[in-house]
Amino acid sequence: MTALPWLDPDKLWFPPADEALDDPDGLLALGGDLSPERLSLAYRNGIFPWFSDDQPILWWSPDPRCVLFPHEIHISRSLRRTLNQRRFRVTADQSFHRVIRLCANTRSEGTWITDEMMAAYTELYRLGVAHSIEIWNQQGELAGGMYGVALGACFFGESMFSLETNASKVLMVHLAHQLAAWGYQMMDCQVESSHLISMGARTLPRAEFLSILRSCVDRKADQPDWTFTWQWPGPEV
């Protein structure tokens, strides 16, 4: 296997994303740290961390890349019925700490959201770079959530959990509508899943993804304060 570069915590850099391995797909580098500066640099270059407690920090840029363009969100007939019932309320940045912990603790297959990762993204949240989206049922209980990173006109989804049927789908529709209203160009979903594809996501070759990303991250999106409640129906996309 080709030797991977070890990143020095005292030097802020990454190798080009197109130097990532084919097997395992997208593995680019090891080491470094999870400082806000390094994480921001990583996302700007199409790179993200993903590792377990017993591993060094691993940095990835898979090919192809799964993305969702907000205006392409797909709403099935059954999902539209659920939306029209207004069974859920969607908010942002109102329970970041609960959301990231539940993203870690509700995954039956285990989690890569280590204590180190939680601390790093909580710091990004404090700096206004990371955000949580929450979905609440009619009893006021948390039914699902997502957290991610916002840079320029791109939102990078990191992890999601769902405790009730259709909660994650309703959350995705609200988020896509709001991102579109703010002028966001793309949501990075990282790795393909049947759930994301059913919602309108698609895969792009890494080179195409990186080209779009470069045009997005330095573009200023028209966004107000994230701490508010979204209602359905939302803005047209």
pLDDT in tens, 171-229: 999 999 999 989 999 999 999 999 999 999 999 999 999 999 999 998 877 666 787 77
Taking alpha carbons only, the member of 19, 27, 34, 31 closest to residue 60 is: 27
Is residue 225 situated within a structural domain? yes
Alpha-carbon gap, residue 28 to 2, rounded angstroms: 10
Confidence of residue 116 (pLDDT cuts 50, 70, 90): very high
Q: Does the pLDDT of residue 45 top 60, yes or no?
A: yes
First-last CA distance in the chain? 45
Same domain, 100 and 133: yes
pLDDT digits (tens, 9 = 90+) for 51-95: 988 899 999 999 999 999 999 999 999 999 999 999 999 999 999
Same domain, 53 and 115: no
pLDDT value for 226: 83
Return mean pLDDT, the chain: 92
pLDDT value for 220: 75
Which of 2-16, 158-172, 210-224 bottoms out in mean pLDDT, i.e. has the lowest? 210-224
- In DSSP terms, 147 is beta-bridged to 132, 159
Residue 3 DSSP one-character state = P
Residues 6 or more apart in contact with residue 198 via CB below 8 angstroms: 74, 76
The alpha-carbon radius of gyration of the chain (Å, integer) is 17
Same domain, 146 and 191: yes
Alpha-carbon gap, residue 88 to 192, rounded angstroms: 26
- The enclosing H or E element of 99 equals helix 96-105
User: Reduced to 3 states, what is the DSSP secondary structure of residue 186?
Assistant: strand
- Domain assignment of residue 118, given as a range: 66-230
Q: Does the pLDDT of residue 234 top 60, yes or no?
A: no
Same domain, 159 and 222: yes
CB 55 within 8 A of CB 35: no
Is residue 235 situated within a structural domain? no
Confidence of residue 107 (pLDDT cuts 50, 70, 90): low
Total domains present in the chain: 2
Taking alpha carbons only, the member of 87, 51, 96, 71 closest to residue 184 is: 71
Q: Does the pLDDT of residue 236 top 80, yes or no?
A: no
CA dist list (Å): 88 to 148, 167, 170: 21, 8, 8
Same domain, 72 and 30: no
| CB atoms near residue 193 (< 10 Å) | 12
For residue 56 the two structure tokens come to: 């060094």
Nearest-10 crossing angle of helices 77-85, 167-182: 90
pTM of the full structure: 0.93
Residue 164 DSSP one-character state = S
